[in-house]
Amino acid sequence: MPLHKLNLEQFEEYFTRINEELYKVFDSRVPLVEEVGQYAVFSSGKRLRPLIFVLCCELCDYSGKDVYQFSTIFEYIHVASLLHDDVLDNAATRRKRPSANQVWGNQAAVLEGDFLFAKALSVAVRADNIPFLTKLTETAVRMTEGQILELAHVNDWQLTKAQYMEIITAKTASLISGACACGAILSEAPSHVETALTQFGLNIGIAFQLIDDLLDYTASEAEFGKPVGKDLREGKVTLPLIHTLSQLAPQETERLMERCAHAGPEDADVETMIRLVRANGALDRTWEEARAFVTGAVDYLDVFPDSPIKRNLQNLGRYIIERRY
Ligand code: FPP
Ligand code: MG
């Protein structure tokens, strides 16, 4: 299949079953919880994390009927983290619409995130599986650490690539990796298989965030669903900017930092920076690095014989670097 034709349509049946389970699990006696949840969980979202979990279970020959029920854990944790993230970022837009914090305010958005996270754990305990729960809770710890590390480096134009990689590995890749690992754990797969799937998830997760950060410089808002240049405005230094700054003279970096980092960038500063990042090859470099992570991820699947499920996971890796939103 040519790369540009790759999309998620081939997974439609999986998404239908995942959505059915999300509906089944989601209920509250409090109308506001249902209202905000309906908006945050059900009106959009790619469902990539539950899909990856289901595919990993299938790859490990898991035959339990509860796989779709457990897949919801990863969507609930993901949406909970986005609700919190939008409050932290003071974001106005998410998935082409006003963010939940914009519509209901920060307090309701934070509490809805808490609700969804608690819901995820209440589903998880039904697995009655301590290694599964251990992996999940460790994942939540890592995500939070990543987010705090990112916070500690807001407006840090000296941020190194290694520090950036540590942030994105923890805040984003850990959940995707956790979904893969939990698939192996639920399936009682041998430890070398769990390790391979953990690494597969970590590598595609890193690629996913590299592309997210790249799209922040390249996409149109209409496609991406959130404003372009959002990271710069939020003081987030990401790999395209790190590559760009590494090619500038120190005085030039200093001058741009004075304008952008200290007082918060004006529209014109954001445009200047976007132009600079687009002009100097930083985006190609970032994309190549994302591609290398996907290649690395796919190599970890070598422990499995060729099968349609394995090809699905490989395709998903390719989708992650080809996506436009
Ligand atoms: C979005 O990234 C945010 C994350 C990947 C992680 C958020 C994690 C937390 C808030 C802490 C853990 C929370 C729970 C519930 C365990 P981004 O800001 O790069 O993407 P964006 O541009 O879409 O905002
Ligand atoms: Mg954010």
CA quadruple 96, 100, 101, 105: dihedral sign = positive
Please tell me the predicted confidence (pLDDT) of residue 268.
Answer: 85
The environment of the single-atom ion ligand 2, i.e. residues with CB closer than 5 A, is 85, 89
Return the best residue to mutate from 46, 82, 206, 233 for the ligand 1 pocket (most ligand atoms within 8 A of CB).
Answer: 82
169 Cα to the center of ligand 1, angstroms: 12
C-beta of residue 206 within 8 angstroms of C-beta of residue 131:
no
pLDDT digits (tens, 9 = 90+) for 249-272: 888 888 888 877 766 778 888 888
**Confidence class for position 289, pLDDT limits 50, 70, 90:** very high
Inter-residue contact 153 to 186 (CB < 8 Å): no
- pLDDT (0 to 100) of residue 44: 79
Which residue is associated with the tokens 């079953």? 17
Q: What is the pLDDT of residue 222?
A: 64
pTM, to two decimals? 0.94
* DSSP reduced 3-state for 18: helix
Confidence band, pLDDT 50/70/90 cuts, at residue 119: very high
Task: Give the pLDDT confidence of 1-57 residue by residue, as tens digits.
Answer: 344 445 788 899 999 999 999 998 888 999 999 999 999 998 778 999 999 999 999
Measure 179 CA to ligand 2 centroid, in angstroms: 21
Averaged pLDDT for residues 176-199: 98
Pick from 147, 139, 134, 133: which is nearest to 49 by CA? 139
- Protein residue closest via CA to atom 13 of ligand 1: 81
Q: For 122-172, how does the pLDDT look when each residue is reduced to its tens digit (9 = 90+)? A: 999 999 999 999 999 999 999 999 999 999 999 999 999 999 999 999 999
Nearest ligand, CA of residue 96? 1
Distance from residue 63's CA to the centre of ligand 2 (Å): 37
For the CA of 91, the nearest atom of ligand 1: 24
Position 3 scores a pLDDT of 42
Cα gap 280→83, rounded to integer Å: 34
Ligand 1: does its nearest atom lie under 6 Å from the Cβ of 101?
no
- Looking at residue 209, what is its pLDDT? 97
150 close to ligand 1 (CB < 6 Angstrom): no
With a 6 Å cutoff on the Cβ, whether 218 touches ligand 1 is no
Ligand 1 site, residue 143, Cβ cutoff 6 A:
yes
Q: For position 221, what pLDDT does the model report?
A: 63
- Give residue 142 CA to ligand 1 midpoint distance, Å: 11
pLDDT of residue 8: 83
Residue-wise pLDDT for 55-79, tens only, equals 999 999 998 889 999 999 999 999 9
The ligand minimizing its distance to the Cα of 168 is 1
Q: Where are the domains of the chain?
A: 8-322
Q: Atom 17 in ligand 1: which residue has the minimum CA distance?
A: 85
Ligand 1 centre and the CA of 86: distance in Å?
8
The pLDDT value given to residue 4: 40
Q: Residue 179 has what pLDDT?
A: 98
Label residues 300-316 b or e (16+ Cβ within 10 Å = b). bbeebeeeebbebbbbb
3-state secondary structure at position 93: strand
For residue 218, the model assigns a pLDDT of 87
- Average pLDDT along the chain: 92
Distance CA 230, CA 270 (A): 9
DSSP secondary structure, 25-92, as one string: H---SSHHHHHHHIIIIIS----HHHHHHHHHHHHTT---TTHHHHHHHHHHHHHHHHHHHHHHHT-S
Token code pair at residue 114: 């808490």
Architecture of the domain delimited by 8-322: Orthogonal Bundle (1.10)
Distance of CA 255 from the midpoint of ligand 1 (Å):
30
Closest CA to 178 of 71, 36, 61: 71
Q: Is the CB of 113 under 6 A from ligand 1?
A: yes
Given a contact cutoff of 8 angstroms between Cβ atoms, the answer to whether 202 and 165 are in contact is: no
